[in-house]
Chain A
């Protein structure tokens, strides 16, 4: 009977990170992916944070399909006619080893998975894992797939099966994700000639721009919109909490069309050719929604474990970090000749807690609940900011003192003095 040291369910960033690390250390690895190839079922904005991949494949820049490195970040608050906010652009981001890149996931994941295969893992695609196989004591001993009824055995199964985590849930290892703890994002790929794109965004070579936006573009729902520059395309998307979509009955594609028609966005995408429309869920529950991530013979990594820092738009990097740490735990136990029992695999949880992954998620643990109960951050404030900026910049014969008073009055009317102070306290608390 063939038995693997480890089976990895899924070939996204966490599964690929885990499989690569395991195979590189000489372990016998089987990775199972339901898509035609790694990446064909995967969706992201997408920004790649280099550091987390560097820890796994230090020289990835030599041949990974990277689109543009980000030199300019725009954070926009939008109302129906305007945007205001901050831009940060720096030539310091034109460094030898850039920090953030835009990527196209179907291509990037395919590349990453090729590295996994070259490292020696057996990758089986077009195969959906249906359940975990367990022995009488409940210990996970392998998987079953939709190919046949046979159990494929392994010492440990790493679940990198994504936000929906059907395998984890149906095996009773993880609770169902709540509509309040997930965002639904829709995205389109808009193609433009390279030189048109570079002129429009004031960039050259492989420089790129990332825009993150919030405000009335989400039609009163809690969420954000984005626009990222790829080599010769733009990723344009918008996402809000699933519970908000449900309660408001809003169509995500109507919201996306409205965003695309916004006077600040329309000129940026004008004349582009749309080649794909995608939708995906993003775990947004934060620290308090993280399930148990290890047990007898199993580990959970990536989106399946809710490892997303919604505040900082980080997810795929946490996926790679958790995939790598899970693999390192398995490798260490194997080296020491110890069985992957629940007690021994607890090292993975410890490694997470000692890293920025859990530290960051813990830092913002109160944030999901606070923004939940305080919609004004997504609705009232962007409108107030826009109004204030318009008052401030319009030269119309009204004296400046009057303008200042006018701005202050608008804020008081929009949110009351008590509300303003309360909001500042709430944010400060959530930030701690």
Chain B
């Protein structure tokens, strides 16, 4: 089953902090760990993409701030993870 997660995120409200991504893939040169690779499908907001050169990149605009990637990659040190600045990020209407 293919599901377009973008269509789900379209219903949400966000205040994107332009130019200040709150999650960054730090180890860019090295081959991504199994955990980081898994996020391409596991991230509930589909923020991670597998690139042609084998690397994994993140665009956290649609991030739901759950922390799944944070705890999956906690041991590998591949992510720099922070909450968005106060007031930015997902703004749940219902939660």
How far apart sit A322 and B33, CA to CA, in the bound complex (Å)? 38
Contacts of A40 in B (CB 8 A): 91-92, 95
Q: Does B45 contact A (CB under 8 A)?
A: yes
Interface hit among B24-32, B52-60, B80-88? B80-88
Contact pick for B92, options A34, A43, A247, A252, CB 8 Å: A43
Q: Does A177 contact B (CB under 8 A)?
A: yes
Across the two chains, which residue of chain B brings its CB closest to A175?
A: B74
Instruction: Check B64–A281 contact: CB distance below 8 A.
Output: no
Cross-chain pair count, CB within 8 angstroms: 135
Known A41-B90, A184-B44, A186-B44; contact A109-B95, beta-carbon cutoff 8 A: yes
What 0/1 readout, one digit per residue, does chain A (36-62) give for beta carbons within 8 Å of chain B? Answer: 100111111010000000000000000
How far apart sit A246 and B46, CA to CA, in the bound complex (Å)? 14
How far apart sit A254 and B7, CA to CA, in the bound complex (Å)? 13
Instruction: Check B71–A35 contact: CB distance below 8 A.
Output: no
What 0/1 readout, one digit per residue, does chain A (245-274) give for beta carbons within 8 Å of chain B? Answer: 111011111100110000000000000001
Instruction: Check B38–A176 contact: CB distance below 8 A.
Output: no
Contact pick for B67, options A128, A164, A246, CB 8 Å: A164
Across the two chains, which residue of chain A brings its CB closest to B2?
A: A254
Question: In terms of DSSP, what is the predominant structure of the interface of chain B?
Answer: loop
Instruction: Check B86–A125 contact: CB distance below 8 A.
Output: yes
Q: Does B49 contact A (CB under 8 A)?
A: no
Q: Interface residues of A toward B: which range?
A: 35 or more
Across the two chains, which residue of chain A brings its CB closest to B22?
A: A128
Contacts of A188 in B (CB 8 A): 8
How far apart sit A201 and B42, CA to CA, in the bound complex (Å)? 33
Q: Does A178 contact B (CB under 8 A)?
A: yes
Q: Which A193-233 residues have C-beta < 8 A from chain B? A: 233
Instruction: Check A254–B1 contact: CB distance below 8 A.
Output: yes
Q: Which A121-147 residues have C-beta < 8 A from chain B? A: 125-128, 145-147
Instruction: Check B1–A39 contact: CB distance below 8 A.
Output: no
| Chain A proximity of B75: nearest CB distance (Å) | 8
| Chain A proximity of B85: nearest CB distance (Å) | 6
Name the residue among B3, B65, B70, B92 with the largest chain A CB count within 10 angstroms: B92
Contacts of A46 in B (CB 8 A): 95
Contact pick for A245, options B38, B64, B95, CB 8 Å: B38
Instruction: Check B93–A163 contact: CB distance below 8 A.
Output: no
Contacts of B71 in A (CB 8 A): 164, 176-179, 182, 242, 281
Known A178-B71, A281-B71; contact A106-B95, beta-carbon cutoff 8 A: yes
Contacts of B64 in A (CB 8 A): 277-280
Q: Does A310 contact B (CB under 8 A)?
A: no
Known A128-B86, A276-B11; contact A257-B95, beta-carbon cutoff 8 A: no
| Chain B proximity of A166: nearest CB distance (Å) | 7
Across the two chains, which residue of chain B brings its CB closest to A182?
A: B71
How far apart sit A127 and B94, CA to CA, in the bound complex (Å)? 21
| Chain B proximity of A247: nearest CB distance (Å) | 8
Contacts of B1 in A (CB 8 A): 254, 257-258
Instruction: Check B68–A242 contact: CB distance below 8 A.
Output: yes
Contacts of A274 in B (CB 8 A): 8, 11
| Chain A proximity of B21: nearest CB distance (Å) | 15
Q: Does A418 contact B (CB under 8 A)?
A: no
Contacts of A276 in B (CB 8 A): 11-12, 92-94
How far apart sit A298 and B57, CA to CA, in the bound complex (Å)? 37
Known A39-B92, A128-B86; contact A275-B72, beta-carbon cutoff 8 A: no
Across the two chains, which residue of chain A brings its CB closest to B75?
A: A176
Q: Does A293 contact B (CB under 8 A)?
A: no
Contact pick for B66, options A36, A177, A279, CB 8 Å: A279
Across the two chains, which residue of chain A brings its CB closest to B44?
A: A279
How far apart sit A430 and B67, CA to CA, in the bound complex (Å)? 29
Instruction: Check B93–A106 contact: CB distance below 8 A.
Output: yes
How far apart sit A211 and B35, CA to CA, in the bound complex (Å)? 32
Contacts of A247 in B (CB 8 A): 38
Contacts of A35 in B (CB 8 A): 87, 91
How far apart sit A54 and B80, CA to CA, in the bound complex (Å)? 41
Known A182-B71, A251-B41; contact A105-B86, beta-carbon cutoff 8 A: no
A–B complex contacts, Cβ < 8 Å, 5 sampled: A164-B67, A178-B71, A179-B71, A247-B38, A277-B64
Give chain A's interface residues, CB within 8 Å of chain B: 34-36, 39-44, 46, 104-107, 109, 125-128, 145-147, 163-164, 166, 176-179, 182, 184, 186, 188-189, 233, 242, 245-247, 249-254, 257-258, 274-281
17 extra interchain contacts, Cβ-Cβ under 8 A, other than A40-B95, A245-B42? A36-B87, A41-B92, A42-B95, A106-B95, A107-B94, A127-B86, A128-B83, A128-B86, A145-B86, A147-B86, A164-B71, A252-B42, A254-B2, A275-B93, A277-B12, A277-B64, A279-B68
Give chain B's interface residues, CB within 8 Å of chain A: 1-3, 5, 8-9, 11-12, 15, 34-35, 38, 41-42, 44-46, 64-68, 70-72, 74, 82-87, 89-95
